[in-house]
Amino acid sequence: MLLAVSVATCGVIPAFLTGGLAVQIRDELDFGEGALGLAIAVFFASSSLASFVSGRVVERVGYSLGMRVAVLVSAASLLSVATLAGSWAALVFCLALGGLANAISHPATHLFMARKVSQGRQGLAFGVKQAAIPTATLLAGLAVPSLATTVGWRWAFVASATLALVVSLLVPKEDPGAGPHRPKDKVTQTGDARLGPLLLLALGMALGSAAANPLGVFIVESSVAAGIEVGAAGLLLALGSAVGIGVRVLLGWFTDRREGGSLNLVAGMMALGTLGFLLLAGGAGWVLVIGVVLAFGAGWGWPGLFNFAVVKTSPGAPAAATGVTQTGASGGAAVGPLVFGLVVEGSSFGTAWLVSGALVFLAAVAILAGRRMLLRDRHARDRERATASGLS
């Protein structure tokens, strides 16, 4: 579980480190909030475009090679930002490379956990693994007062690349008897979810990610605009990230002790997260702190539970199934920061947080609709099997 979260953190950290250090990066490279949102959007667009294919590729080559490639590509992205990003365009190119690493890291770690973690602990495993994103934002928040305001923001990227290289050495070899995991001709097989429900769940994931990902990118700048000193704003990002980590892990532990209803719980958390975004829209002082806690904890604490539910719907091809839904996650993560940055430039941070609140509420509706479709398909398959058994 710790290895999975390390690999996934390495995959996503180029984007959120850029967001956490945005004040210093924008000052040096001279671009605005809209351009920052576009840079982060390119990272996740690159990830979204590659996710559908990478899920199938990982099923074929195995989790070990997939995780190792993801970490090494991420290290290359981080080092290129530190050494080559002398302009906004160069920064965007480096982040696009990082998006490819993120696309590979998720299906690879999902397959790893589906094969290596016992059934009774997979909820906890996916909660721990999905803590990768708030871990990345936590590291980004801590990097503001510890590195960016002391030795410079580029050294934060060097330190993160070094961490990624260390993680690459810890990736285990595939079990000798496991062999490559070859998918079926289609994503689905008997008992696995069809593509239709997965696409609807991917839509919900896209809307939720579009709402939540600006938290890791813009919360520091939003807090500074509200009158908070930049170092304290970085610590506020670290606080929200710590809450997000705790919620994801505890939610995974809780899931292992209950039967079903995971997608209902995902939708409920999204609905509660709407309140957090509303508080961010008009909050100051303690209201802002409460908004950060609710937005990070509820509005962005659900991805581990979501991925666990998707894996359960498709035990025969977990990497391929989560590759479909990860396309939505990365697509939403691409659009969210871009739209957020443009709304900030055209209006204010308050208006942008209201837009995020509306998006996460719509995400809850899409998740419930996807769950209903999954249940309908399951009942239809049960009837078909019962009929076939009666005829035989």
> Any idea what the CATH number is for the domain that residue 68 is in?
1.20.1250.20
Contact 210, 335 (CB under 8 A): yes
Burial of 275 (0-12, 13-18, 19+ CB in 10 A): middle
* pTM (global) more than 0.75: no
The tokens for 374 are 């999954």
| Residue % of the chain over a pLDDT of 90 | 27
Asked if the model's pLDDT at residue 361 lies above 90, the reply is yes
Q: Is 178 contained in some domain?
A: no
Whether residue 260 contacts residue 357, with contact meaning beta carbons closer than 8 Å, is answered with no
Exposed, middle or buried: residue 63 (CB in 10 Å: 0-12, 13-18, 19+)? buried
Which position has the higher pLDDT, 328 or 183?
Answer: 328
Mean pLDDT score across all residues of the chain: 83
Q: Which two tokens stand for residue 372?
A: 């209903």
Q: How far apart (Å, rounded) are the C-alpha atoms in residues 307 and 321?
A: 9
What residue type is 248 in one-letter code? R
Question: Would residue 16 count as lying in a domain?
Answer: yes
The H-or-E segment that residue 301 falls in is none
pLDDT band with cut points at 50, 70 and 90 for residue 190: very low
Q: What's the pLDDT tens digit per position in 107-157?
A: 888 888 888 877 777 777 777 777 767 777 677 777 767 776 677 789 889
Q: Looking at residues 280-293, what average pLDDT do you find? A: 86
Residues 6+ apart with CB under 8 A from 69: 101, 104
Residue 178 has pLDDT above 60, yes or no: no
How far is residue 335's CA from residue 326's CA, in Å, rounded to a whole number? 14
pLDDT at 144: 67
DSSP sequence for 219-264 = HHHHHHHTT--HHHHHHHHHHHHHHHHHHHHHHHHHHTTS-S-HHH
Read off the DSSP letter of residue 175.
P
Confidence tier at 22 by pLDDT (50, 70, 90): confident
pLDDT per residue as tens digits for the range 65-116: 999 999 999 999 999 999 999 899 999 999 999 999 998 988 888 888 888 8
Which has the higher per-residue pLDDT, 355 or 244? 355
Instruction: Tell whether 97 is covered by a domain.
Output: yes
Specify the pLDDT at position 387: 67
Round to whole Å and give the CA distance between 148 and 312: 42
pLDDT tens string 330-352: 788 888 888 898 898 888 999 99
Look at residue 183 and tell me if it is in a domain: no
Asked whether the CA dihedral 101, 201, 244, 280 is positive or negative, the reply is: positive
Q: How many domains does the chain have?
A: 1
Query: Measured between alpha carbons, how far is 178 from 134 in angstroms, rounded to an integer?
Result: 32
Residue 254 domain flag? yes
Q: Which domain holds residue 248?
A: 2-170+190-391
Residue 243 lies in a domain: yes
CB contact at 8 A, 12 and 136: yes
Is residue 85 within 8 A of residue 17, CB to CB? The reply is no
Q: Is residue 82 part of a domain?
A: yes
Cβ neighbours for 109, distance < 8 A, ≥ 6 positions apart: 4, 7, 8, 63, 67, 129
Q: Is residue 185 part of a domain?
A: no
Say how many Å lie between the first and final Cα of the chain, rounded.
Answer: 45
